C-alpha cells in the first residue's frame, strides 16, 4: 500500500528546508508528481515512527534518494516490548507435579517408547531415520551386560612405582 501523498509532501517539505537548492536540483527536470508517486510507492508500508526516524537521521551533507531514505527508515530500532512479570511458583503445585511425573515414570517402563517404536517399525510403519536410530540406541544402551569375571592384573605387569 503506497504511503499517503500528504505524508510524502511533508517529507519533501522537510527535505526542502534541510537541503534547499540541493534538494530542488536533485529532481530538476522531473515532474514533481512522478517524484512524489515514486516516493509514495517506495515508502509504502512504513510506519510514521519509521519515517520520523529517517527524518531525524538525515545525512547532513546531501539530500538522500528515496532508496537512501528507505534505508534510514529501516534502521529504526524496534521498540522495546515490556515483558510480563514472571509468575510466582506455587510450591505445593510444583511438588504435586514433580510427584506426578515421578510416579508416572515408575508406573511404566521408562523405555516403553523405544519398545513402541520397535513394534511400529516391525509392523511396517514408516518411521523417520531419527526414530529408528533412537529406539535402537536406547535398547542397546540398556541391554543387559554379560557378567564379566574380574581378575586383577598381576603385580609383575605394573610399572615399578605401582608395585608393592
| pLDDT tens, residue by residue, 84-132 | 888 888 999 999 988 888 776 655 567 888 889 999 999 999 999 999 9
Query: Residue 79 falls within a domain, yes or no?
Result: no
Kindly state the cell numbers that stand for 60.
Answer: 547532513
Query: Residue 157 falls within a domain, yes or no?
Result: no
Kindly state the cell numbers that stand for 65.
Answer: 534518494
Count structural domains, the chain: 2
Query: Residue 118 falls within a domain, yes or no?
Result: yes
Residues 12, 69 within the same domain? yes
Residues 52, 113 within the same domain? no
Residues 115, 70 within the same domain? no
Query: Residue 95 falls within a domain, yes or no?
Result: no
Query: Residue 148 falls within a domain, yes or no?
Result: no
Report d(CA 57, CA 53) in Å as an integer.
Answer: 6
Range of the domain at 125: 108-142
pLDDT reading at 12 higher than 80: yes
Amino acid at each position: 500500500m503506497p504511503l499517503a501523498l500528504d505524508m510524502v509532501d511533508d517529507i519533501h517539505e522537510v527535505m526542502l528546508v534541510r537541503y534547499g537548492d540541493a534538494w530542488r536540483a536533485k529532481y530538476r527536470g522531473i515532474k514533481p508528481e512522478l517524484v512524489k508517486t515514486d516516493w509514495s510507492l517506495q515508502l509504502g508500508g512504513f510506519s510514521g515512527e519509521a519515517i520520523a526516524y529517517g527524518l531525524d537521521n538525515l545525512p547532513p551533507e546531501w539530500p538522500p534518494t528515496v532508496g537512501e531514505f528507505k534505508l534510514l527508515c529501516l534502521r529504526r530500532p524496534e521498540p522495546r516490548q515490556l515483558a510480563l512479570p514472571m509468575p510466582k511458583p506455587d510450591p505445593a503445585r510444583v511438588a504435586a507435579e514433580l510427584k506426578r511425573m515421578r510416579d508416572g515414570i515408575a508406573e511404566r517402563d521408562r523405555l516403553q517408547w523405544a519398545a513402541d517404536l520397535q513394534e511400529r517399525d516391525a509392523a511396517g510403519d514408516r518411521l523417520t531415520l531419527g526414530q529408528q536410530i533412537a529406539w535402537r540406541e536406547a535398547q542397546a544402551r540398556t541391554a543387559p551386560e554379560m557378567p564379566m569375571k574380574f581378575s586383577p592384573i598381576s603385580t609383575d605387569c605394573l610399572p615399578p612405582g605401582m608395585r608393592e
